[in-house]
Amino acid sequence: NAGVTQTPKFRILKIGQSMTLQCAQDMNHNYMYWYRQDPGMGLKLIYYSVGAGITDKGEVPNGYNVSRSTTEDFPLRLELAAPSQTSVYFCASRTSGGAVDTQYFGPGTRLTVL
């Protein structure tokens, strides 16, 4: 299993550009998450999904959109990029059952907006 994969690893955007961060998991997990991590800070939840077709806002959803058309994929869309969106973005997934409520994280996407 590849686990949680994210593309791209790095990206530089100009102010006002748009892009989609890709996230995929092959563990058949129902729950998927997008976080951002600013330098020296913890993880802030952007959006999450409890299954295909169901998404909900987290703490910091402004400037982002998501969709979940399949169990495997959970892309994050940035519209009109701003310098405040410079951050490292992590995608995570977890199963909805089981004894351990572990979130498995992807390797992250480092985004810079200039």
User: What residues line the site for another protein (CB under 8 A)?
Assistant: 31, 33, 35, 40-45, 48, 50, 56, 58-59, 90, 100-103, 105-108
User: Would you call 84 helix, strand, or coil by DSSP?
Assistant: helix
Q: How far is the CB of 80 from another protein (least distance, A)?
A: 26
Q: Which is nearer to another protein, 48 or 74 (CB)?
A: 48
C-alpha distances in Å from residue 31, one per residue of 13, 16, 51, 95? 29, 31, 6, 6
Q: Which is nearer to another protein, 17 or 61 (CB)?
A: 61
Select from 64, 47, 67, 65 the least CA-distant residue to 56: 47
Q: How far is the CB of 14 from another protein (least distance, A)?
A: 25
Q: Which is nearer to another protein, 37 or 67 (CB)?
A: 37
* Upper half-sphere CA count for residue 61 (Cβ side, 13 Å): 12
